[in-house]
Amino acid sequence: MELVFKNTTGLVSVPRHYCPGCTHGVIHRMVAEVIEELGVRESAVGISPVGCSVIAYNYFNCDMQQAAHGRAPALATGIKRVRPDLTVFTYQGDGDLASIGTAETVQAANRGEKVTVIFVNNAIYGMTGGQMAPTTMPGQVTTTSPAGRDVNHCGYPIRVVELLATLRTPAYLVRVSAHDEVHLVQAKQAIRKAFRYQLEGRCFSFVEVLSICPTNWGLSPAEASQWLANTMIPYYPLGEIKTPDDGPVTEAHHAQ
């Protein structure tokens, strides 16, 4: 019989704790497949954040560190600077990266740390029970913005990729979405490219993945995907926002 599908060696085969319909699982899988395909599982060190994906250290089948809230890029810096031979990535949510970890994110990008950041933006704090995030959409109801996010009270959602794109330091900055199959194909290509930029020692690489949170949005998974497409993508445009000036990564070099 022909083998048409198998588990990636980049993930540990254990039940995961994510809610039904959550896109963390598929994003984990894409990152893990890229790690496997690039042959870097045995040199990879991942960093889990504080938030829904805090226990990612039990899911990725590579060495892992768990970071204080928002500090994953500082840990990544510490690891990569003393062990440049390792493949270092962080996996962070929007509260972790865009709120409490803003300084660590901006400064790691500005130093051009040769690490890869996977930024899962679902416009809400998931683990703590659906509070407003810096990425929460205007008018979006959360447990700490019960009347909807009032931009006169707390400003507009932060577009992290565009913010980082203002920095002079070369970087690979891309935004993708995990809300349907077509976008998942593009998302995996971006994740693969981001890791390849690191492996070539080229630049800081950062993939923002728009993600759904059916539980805290109070929607079914299908409705949540629709809401992401209709509400988030117009505000958070998809695509490569910045690439290094010195050309693209060499596709052949690290292919299996």
71 binds other proteins (CB under 8 A): yes
Among 30, 62, 132, 137, binds other proteins (CB under 8 A): 62
| Residue 238 contacts residue 37 (beta carbons within 8 Å) | no
Which is nearest to 236 in space by CA: 214, 202, 198, 208? 208
Quote the tokens at residue 153: 């009270």
Give the C-alpha separation, 256 to 253, whole Å. Answer: 9
**Minimum CB separation from other proteins for residue 67, in Å?**
7
Q: Which is nearer to other proteins, 42 or 180 (CB)?
A: 42
Phi-psi region of 252 (alpha: psi -120 to 50; beta: other; left: phi over 0): alpha
72: β partners: none
Assess 189 for contact with other proteins (CB under 8 A).
no
Is residue 82 close enough to count as binding other proteins by CB under 8 A?
A: yes
Residue 84 or 155: the one with the smaller Cβ distance to other proteins is 84
Size of the site for other proteins (CB under 8 A): 35
Rounded CA gap, 176 and 35, in Å? 18
Question: For the residues of 187-226, what is the DSSP string, one character each?
Answer: HHHHHHHHHHHHHTT--EEEEEEE---HHHHTS-HHHHHH
Q: Which of residues 216-255 bind other proteins (CB under 8 A)?
A: none
Q: How far is the CB of 2 from other proteins (least distance, A)?
A: 30
Gyration radius of the chain over CA positions: 17
Q: Is 63 in the site for other proteins (CB under 8 A)?
A: yes
Residue 11 interacting with other proteins (CB under 8 A) = no
Task: Name the one residue in this structure whose structure tokens are 């892992």.
Answer: 64
**Residue 45 near other proteins by CB under 8 A:** yes
Q: Is 98 in the site for other proteins (CB under 8 A)?
A: no
Nearest-10 crossing angle of helices 24-37, 181-199:
40
Indicate whether 31 belongs to the interface with other proteins (CB under 8 A).
no
Give yes or no for a contact between 173 and 164, defined as CB atoms under 8 angstroms apart.
Answer: yes
Binding mask 99-118 for other proteins (x = CB under 8 A): ----xx--x---x-------
Stretch that binds other proteins, among 23-31, 51-59, 158-166, 196-204 (CB under 8 A): 51-59
Distance CA 223, CA 228 (A): 9
For residue 13, give both structure tokens. Answer: 């085969």
| 37 lies in the binding site for other proteins (CB under 8 A) | no
Region of 70-78, 123-131, 184-192, 239-247 interacting with other proteins (CB under 8 A): 70-78
- The residue (of 83 and 139) whose beta carbon lies closer to other proteins is 83
Say whether residue 47 binds other proteins (CB under 8 A): yes
- Residue 167 near other proteins by CB under 8 A: no
Instruction: Answer for the pair 69, 100: CB distance below 8 angstroms, yes or no.
Output: yes
Residue with tokens 């539980």: 215
Binding site for other proteins (CB under 8 A): 12, 41-45, 47, 54-55, 57-58, 60-68, 71, 74-79, 81-83, 86, 103-104, 107, 111
